[in-house]
Chain A
Amino acid sequence: GIQVEQSPPDLILQEGANSTLRCNFSDSVNNLQWFHQNPWGQLINLFYIPSGTKQNGRLSATTVATERYSLLYISSSQTTDSGVYFCAVESGGGNKLTFGTGTQLKVEL
């Protein structure tokens, strides 16, 4: 099946810093989503982005489908951005998502 790799696995930032999270995938995809998992375990949709660029406040994402990667940008990070960021892709039929292992982000004061 399709492989999804995320980097870095862990990231510590000072509040106000910017960061870039990367997601590489091994095959063509129908769908790509970025999620944020908060410390209580809830997954929150950030972006549906199979290709192109989207922005939502301090977050933006870019997917280059032909090169099989996606980037999530976090600007002016805040402590509430802490948690795990997952990339998930849908390939083939069935609308099934395959998740990467995530990037654990900690934003410190």
Chain B
Amino acid sequence: DGGITQSPKYLFRKEGQNVTLSCEQNLNHDAMYWYRQDPGQGLRLIYYSQIVNDFQKGDIAEGYSVSREKKESFPLTVTSAQKNPTAFYLCASRGRGATDTQYFGPGTRLTVL
């Protein structure tokens, strides 16, 4: 089946540890995105990538890092510099057409203890 997978579904980490969230897509999409969602809020853009080996900061990039070495994969690292990392993280991808839409993965719930 074509789609976007995120792993793990739930993740617990101790304060001060870096953690990497996985996002993989087999839709042959060029663009990929990472969003953060806090309870009762909308989604906010962390980073996005429109092509392999290139990515740009979104609205809330501080404390996060990404890489885009392969078209299919766009991992997000939550570093110890992120002050409030506990949140729901969603990955999305989009095709190249002007009318293409973003499709979302199932998300990862990160809890920092």
Contact = CB atoms under 8 A, between A and B. Distances in A.
Contacts of A40: 106
Interface residues of A, number: 22
Secondary structure at the A interface, as helix, strand, loop or mixed, is strand
A99 B102 contact: no
Nearest to B37: A41
A99 B104 contact: no
Contacts, number: 54
Interface residues of B, number: 26
A45 B107 contact: no
Interface of B: 31, 33, 35, 37, 40-45, 48, 50, 56, 58-59, 88, 90, 94, 99, 101-104, 106-107, 109
Interface of A: 1, 4, 31, 33, 35, 40-43, 45, 48, 86, 88, 94-102
A69 B34 CA distance: 26
20 contacts: A1-B59, A4-B42, A40-B106, A41-B107, A42-B106, A42-B107, A43-B104, A45-B103, A48-B99, A86-B42, A95-B31, A95-B48, A95-B102, A97-B33, A97-B43, A97-B45, A97-B102, A98-B45, A99-B35, A102-B42
Given A48-B99, A96-B48, A97-B45, 6 more contacts: A45-B101, A48-B101, A95-B94, A95-B102, A98-B45, A99-B43
